[in-house]
Structure 1
Amino acid sequence: MSLFQDTYDVIVVGAGHAGCEAAAAAANMGSSTLLVTMNLQTIAQMSCNPAMGGIAKGQIVREIDALGGYSGIVSDKTAIQFKMLNKSKGPAMWSPRVQSDRMRFAEEWRLRLEGTPNLDFYQEMVSGLLVENNKVVGVTTSLGIKVRGRSVVLTNGTFLNGLIHIGEKQFGGGRAGERPATGITEQLLDFGFDSGRMKTGTPPRVDGRSLDFSKMIIQPGDDVPEKFSYSKETSPLTNQRPCHMSYTSPEVHDLLREGFDRSPMFNGRIKSLGPRYCPSIEDKINRFADKDRHQLFVEPEGWDTCEIYVNGFSTSLPEDVQFKALRSVAGFENVKFFRPGYAIEYDYFPPTQLKHTLETKLVSGLYFAGQINGTTGYEEAASQGLMAGMNAHLKVHDQEPFTLQRDEAYIGVLIDDLITKGTEEPYRMFTSRAEYRTLLRQDNADERLTPRSHKVGLASEERLVTMEKKREQSDNLVKFFEDTSILPEEVNDILEERGSSPMRQSDKMFKVFSRPQIHLEDMKQFKKVAAYIDEHSLERNVLEQAEIKVKYAGYIAKEKANADKLQRLENIKIPDNFDYSKLKSLSFEAREKLSKIRPTTISQASRVSGVSPSDISVMLVYMGR
């Protein structure tokens, strides 16, 4: 008698953010799914900061939600604060972020997964893969148990041969208090995969009862908070917990420098690269020696706990140096530590070894998602897990794969960057990485992605109906502005008050509304507009989206035209067995890079580092284009 069913459709290894989304997606689409983790008590653990979203990351959470993933819902249900970042900029830059209750976040994910049909759980370390004829057929555990599976998704996070550093001390671990995962890296190397090492770090956790918040700057949430999920299952916060901000000082920097000779970053113990855009405090004061202070965000870990996350103080310095330096920060004079900060090194596999589906090129049915691909961040990991879980299900049921283009989603940009360009340092998403960010706004992720996800069986019918209603209402409101005229005497007082030139003759409301000085609250002053909004009971998200469609109509149309042009190159497929060596007119670097990465379209080939426009012209000529 076996502990498990004969063969699972999908086996997911690891239960972090990537693993949870992968398991939920595969199971919800109908695959028999097994989620294997080293510790069932740490499912969906927020290993670093207790927050979801942020610049570009918030757009990714919205996209996960629009596709039918759970990250948005879980974030809403366990949020303690909501902020829409970058509101002073254009809507392409607006990014939602929540401060989360760390313990409730993990609990909500656990309960949601336990309530998902088709999903089994098992607690043990996976130490190897079962592979036959270059196809994965299951996994082997540390107890020697073999579990058969038609596909496997690896979401190992920082656990693959993880090594934790605190000053001159180092010990194996995938996270504080947890052992590393061994065996998988060595086997993948035997299969012919390339691997590397990366580093990330985390700050100390401290006792909030020992802090003097009166010496810090309060950081409240939005006055009118929104939420992540497009579903009706969640509601905006009615009560929020504030964060605070303090600063380092020259004195703090001097105290930190005293420990540099014992820092694994500076004495050669750590050789791998850490996140460029989230450096440790010692890296900051070393690289930015001209700065006499750096921000520290003091973030509560939940509604009821006194544990505090010191965002901005990530470090691998000795614990005594951390303690002494932090006690010199305003408000931290009497700080008590829950645990010191640390750095962790772990194995990753350069993502150029993957297809757009996140399936490996070397082993059929094997998928990688999350930090194993060289990314950093919960949101980047969760989105990869979702895509890997969807595609594993589709493959084992002989259905077409599900991929996203760069003009369809930030998730599409993320995956295309990874598999086309690769990464030698932890990859983090930014709005600047997306060339079509006016199309990829956080407000319209449901319009972009829910119909596609519903078509392949993940996003629910209810999701689709909700999205269609919202789109119809916003489009009808835009049409109302296009069709309704307004007289100069009705509007000129408001235009003058807002510093906009007066109208000389009757014109459509659309033209008035599209002026940069005029906002929806101004338009609501007109009886026709107020009556239309009341009559149709339009919600805030509908009004916001209509305003964006009016004000940015020209930009949106231009970006869409540019995306359509690129799509023509996306439609030119490159045969799987294409021999680049026979194209002597290609540069040597292009032949080498294209042969290694094996792009599937001309468009993807054009984004490979080292491939020039003239190389693309050569390929187009060869293909008769």
Structure 2
Amino acid sequence: MFDTEYDVVVVGGGHAGSEAAASAANLGCKTLLITMNLQNIAQMSCNPAMGGIAKGQIVREIDALGGYSGIVSDRTAIQFKMLNKSKGPAMWSPRVQSDRMRFAEEWRLLLEQTENLDFYQEMVSGLLIENGEIKGVKTSLGIEVKAKTVVLTNGTFLNGLIHIGEKQFGGGRAGERAATGITEELIGLGFDAGRMKTGTPPRVDGRSLDYSKMVEQPGDDLPEKFSYSDKTKPLSEQRSCFMTYTSPLVHDLLKEGFDRSPMFNGRIKSIGPRYCPSIEDKINRFSEKNRHQIFVEPEGWNTVEMYVNGFSTSLPEDVQFKALRSVVGFENVRFFRPGYAIEYDYFPPTQLSHTLETKLVSGLFFAGQINGTTGYEEAASQGLMAGINAALKVQEKDAFILKRSEAYIGVLIDDLITKGTEEPYRMFTSRAEYRTLLRQDNADFRLTPKSFEIGLASEERMRRMEQKEKKSSDFVQFFKDTSVTPEEANPVLESKNSAPVKQSGKMFKLFARPQITLEDIQKFKKVQEYIKDQNLDKEVLEQAEIQVKYSGYIEKEKNNADKLNRLEDIKIPENFDYSKLKSLSYEAKEKMSKIKPATVSQASRISGVSPSDISVLLVYMGR
């Protein structure tokens, strides 16, 4: 059936696998996507949403690099919200509520329209490896597919085990079987493996809920979109979500089932996501709270199925049902399916390089939950980067690596391979040292030129970005060059309780004042005329406002990033022998020998490596 050798074989069709297949194929590599069920490509296994705090920045970065997640999210959105608008722009995070069925359909159609990409539905049960190099994969039917590189994106399927109360059964997610064979083979090759857990809430019939008792959560009045391209448009209509709360009665009913909970009776031994705990975990850990928020999220435009966000659980189904019926608005609820927990195999990501290629097997890449992460966005970004680097390896080109100062994706991958993770890793804005630089609004400025250089972002994308960047910088320069008199300025300043000026000055200084908004500055006739003359859109106006108001912070972070990048430029030889540096601490020798940092900067971020260890390393490197 497969008589040709593929450049890239991607195993798994979730968010990571879909982005990996798309990027490799779009870079001109003959690519095969093998997944257990072609009907479930890029399925939203948990909540029907993309983006959110820090995750929205990642989706924008994927889009800026030429990935598909932003386009699919826009085309299948039913609600848009920009979170954290009350805070500074470094914290603004876009999020969409998605139509779950259309999301998977749109992904499949986009992939089918991608040149160089083939598909096959089967379970991959083994790898073909010779002399430490990947040669292909083997399926459960015994079919061998030859490949120059392989990207594993197995999600929660590797020896997946589903728990509902005291019942447990094998599965990668509800209604789908687990994948077997790969873990055991990788362990046999010398890889370390572990187990992690995640969970999902019940899905319910929206017709059985009383929304009049809940708080409506509409989308933004002026919705934006994820993709920087012109292939999508903002929503013209939206669907609302709703919010309600648990109560002491609900908590008491849930506690009745704790003795049958796999989380408390020892059946589940692995660690779940700290920042997305189950309802039983929340009740146990935050016993002082007498209620928790529940968000009721539609699964699509037309379906009546609802996602009960905040009620993730693996308690017995009868306990789930009884407790949920005591939540306000859920008195007559009908279940589509109960919530469950799932345990699965993962491989500590310190076994990877920055390209997401494994250190033990050349040409083998890992992306997504196999690396210990949680979340669609984290998985998709890794898939994109693994697909890019698999393609570049085949083409014998330089690797594509993003620094911590360049992207949230760079922070994510560096955290994983340098620090590892013992619990499902989720991205937060607080993980990024340079979040003022890594905003959601400027992802195209940061990353489209890099993607264009390797051949992934289109020329059209590049031109759009350049035009937007020029218009933004020209508008900022306009404020620096344009003066206003006290007679022009003071009425606006006084209306905002801002100190009046006594002499003419540049508009930049006025705009930089925290009280003066974009709306205020547009009251000046000179500004109105410039905007009209240059035909400036909302994106350009917002970009200019951020550059004016945060210029000091941005400059400071750029200087700090430059200092860090000087250490990034000091490379460490690949097989460096740390044992010969007598002044290094024992822990530093052990950790650096295992992780094999590529640069002094990466070495400095390894847990257990002290500043004095870095000094020793710098002295040896002649610095």
**Is 1:599 equivalent to 2:597 in the alignment?**
yes
Report the CA distance between 1:584 and its aligned residue.
1.5
For residue 150 of structure 2, the aligned residue among 132, 152, 164 is 152
Q: Which SS does the other structure have where 2:110 is aligned?
A: helix
Following the alignment from structure 2 to structure 1, what is the Cα–Cα distance between the partners of residues 4 and 214? 58
Q: How does 1:69-218 map to 2 (within 5 A)?
A: 69-218=67-216
* 2:386 corresponding residue in structure 1: 388
Report the CA distance between 1:199 and its aligned residue.
0.1
Q: How does 1:550-561 map to 2 (within 5 A)?
A: 550-561=548-559
* 2:302 corresponding residue in structure 1: 304
Q: How does 1:489-504 map to 2 (within 5 A)?
A: 489-504=487-502
Summarize deviations over 1:128-167 as a string: whole Å, max 9, x none.
0000110001000000000000000000000000000000
Q: Which SS does the other structure have where 1:112 is aligned?
A: helix
Following the alignment from structure 2 to structure 1, what is the Cα–Cα distance between the partners of residues 439 and 120? 38
Report the CA distance between 1:496 and its aligned residue.
1.1
Following the alignment from structure 1 to structure 2, what is the Cα–Cα distance between the partners of residues 19 and 99? 22
Report the CA distance between 1:5 and its aligned residue.
4.0
TM-score (norm 2): 1.00
* 1:374 corresponding residue in structure 2: 372
Following the alignment from structure 2 to structure 1, what is the Cα–Cα distance between the partners of residues 24 and 236? 34
Following the alignment from structure 2 to structure 1, what is the Cα–Cα distance between the partners of residues 582 and 268? 43
Report the CA distance between 1:623 and its aligned residue.
1.2
Q: How does 1:190-269 map to 2 (within 5 A)?
A: 190-269=188-267
Following the alignment from structure 2 to structure 1, what is the Cα–Cα distance between the partners of residues 525 and 482? 12
Report the CA distance between 1:267 and its aligned residue.
0.2
* 1:55 corresponding residue in structure 2: 53
Following the alignment from structure 1 to structure 2, what is the Cα–Cα distance between the partners of residues 519 and 505? 21
Instruction: State the one-letter code of the partner of 1:530.
Output: Q
Summarize deviations over 1:520-562 as a string: whole Å, max 9, x none.
1111111100000011111100000000000000000000000
Following the alignment from structure 2 to structure 1, what is the Cα–Cα distance between the partners of residues 369 and 563? 33
Following the alignment from structure 2 to structure 1, what is the Cα–Cα distance between the partners of residues 148 and 291? 54
Q: Which SS does the other structure have where 1:151 is aligned?
A: strand
TM-score (norm 1): 0.99
**Is 1:442 equivalent to 2:440 in the alignment?**
yes
* 2:42 corresponding residue in structure 1: 44
* 1:7 corresponding residue in structure 2: 5
How many residue pairs align between the two structures?
623
Q: Which SS does the other structure have where 2:532 is aligned?
A: helix
Report the CA distance between 1:491 and its aligned residue.
1.2
Following the alignment from structure 1 to structure 2, what is the Cα–Cα distance between the partners of residues 499 and 426? 48
Report the CA distance between 1:295 and its aligned residue.
0.3
* 1:28 corresponding residue in structure 2: 26
C-alpha spacing 1:328/1:129, structure 2 compared with 1 (3 Å):
same
Following the alignment from structure 1 to structure 2, what is the Cα–Cα distance between the partners of residues 414 and 452? 18
Report the CA distance between 1:6 and its aligned residue.
1.3
Summarize deviations over 1:565-615 as a string: whole Å, max 9, x none.
111100000001111111121111111101100000000000000000000
For residue 467 of structure 2, the aligned residue among 459, 466, 469 is 469
Structure 1 stretches of 4+ moved >3 Å: none
Summarize deviations over 1:71-121 as a string: whole Å, max 9, x none.
000000000000000000000000000000000000000000000010000
For residue 355 of structure 1, the aligned residue among 353, 356, 363 is 353
Report the CA distance between 1:264 and its aligned residue.
0.2
Q: How does 1:517-596 map to 2 (within 5 A)?
A: 517-596=515-594
Summarize deviations over 1:375-400 as a string: whole Å, max 9, x none.
00000000000000000000011000
Summarize deviations over 1:13-71 as a string: whole Å, max 9, x none.
00000000000000011000000000011111000000000000000000000000000
Q: Which SS does the other structure have where 1:64 is aligned?
A: helix
Q: Which runs of 5+ in 1 are unaligned?
A: none
Following the alignment from structure 1 to structure 2, what is the Cα–Cα distance between the partners of residues 356 and 203? 34
Q: Which SS does the other structure have where 1:88 is aligned?
A: coil
Q: Which SS does the other structure have where 2:71 is aligned?
A: helix
Following the alignment from structure 1 to structure 2, what is the Cα–Cα distance between the partners of residues 592 and 146? 39
Q: Which runs of 5+ in 2 are unaligned?
A: none
Following the alignment from structure 2 to structure 1, what is the Cα–Cα distance between the partners of residues 136 and 576? 31
Report the CA distance between 1:497 and its aligned residue.
1.3
Instruction: State the one-letter code of the partner of 1:496.
Output: E
Instruction: State the one-letter code of the partner of 1:103.
Output: M
Larger mean Cα displacement after TM superposition, 3-12 or 419-428: 3-12
Instruction: State the one-letter code of the partner of 1:211.
Output: L
Instruction: State the one-letter code of the partner of 1:90.
Output: G
Following the alignment from structure 2 to structure 1, what is the Cα–Cα distance between the partners of residues 316 and 553? 51
Following the alignment from structure 1 to structure 2, what is the Cα–Cα distance between the partners of residues 247 and 144? 52
